[in-house]
Amino acid sequence: MRLALGLFLTAFASASQATAGPFEAPPQRYAEAVNAALHQAGTDLRLRQTSCEAGTRCRFAARLVDVDVTGPADRPGTERILIAAIFRQGDDEAATRLIDDTLTVLGATMVAYDPGMAVERRGEALLELGDAALGVGEAHLDSADVHYALRFDDVSGRLEITAATLRAGHG
């Protein structure tokens, strides 16, 4: 897993996107921003919007990875991005591909929504979260602007990674 993770980390290491206040964009703009980062990283993984409710909650999918992006009802913007995947037991190869896709979407989200995070810190964060997904099942880390939380439920096989603007809190 570390080898596969290392391969796409190098693609995200130099990727950057100059956007002022990425969390100021409404949830429906998530795929546009993240797909640009995925393209820049050279992966064929792409997000597509599957639903959007009143512009405050939009859902996206990329292969077997689901993303739920929410914003406040009282103003435009994004507060929380939840990246989720469900792992099935017994297929280690499929699990490796799924963790790679999940962390690739997270890496692209970091590029698009946390552009101030230092490139080397982005790679470290992806490795820390990847190790936590396979090990302890829970992790939290902060950049200057974004709180990242990972939770893996062994019983259901559900992996959830949240990226939330610090002003939204750590809920």
Domain positions in the chain are 2-168
How far, in Å, CA of 145 to CA of 114, rounded?
A: 7
Phi, psi of 163 (to 5 degrees): -120, 120
According to the model, what pLDDT value does residue 168 have? Answer: 54
> pTM to 2 decimals?
0.85
pLDDT in tens, 33-81: 999 999 998 999 999 999 999 879 999 999 999 999 999 988 889 999 9
* Percent of the chain whose predicted confidence (pLDDT) is above 90: 48
CA of residue 137 relative to chain centroid, distance: 16
Would you state the structure tokens that stand for residue 132, as one six-digit string? 């936590």
Q: What is the DSSP letter of 127?
A: H
Torsion over CA: 94, 97, 101, 106 (sign)? positive
**Which of the residue ranges 21-30, 109-118, 123-132, 140-149 would you say has the lowest mean pLDDT?**
123-132
How far, in Å, CA of 37 to CA of 32, rounded?
A: 9
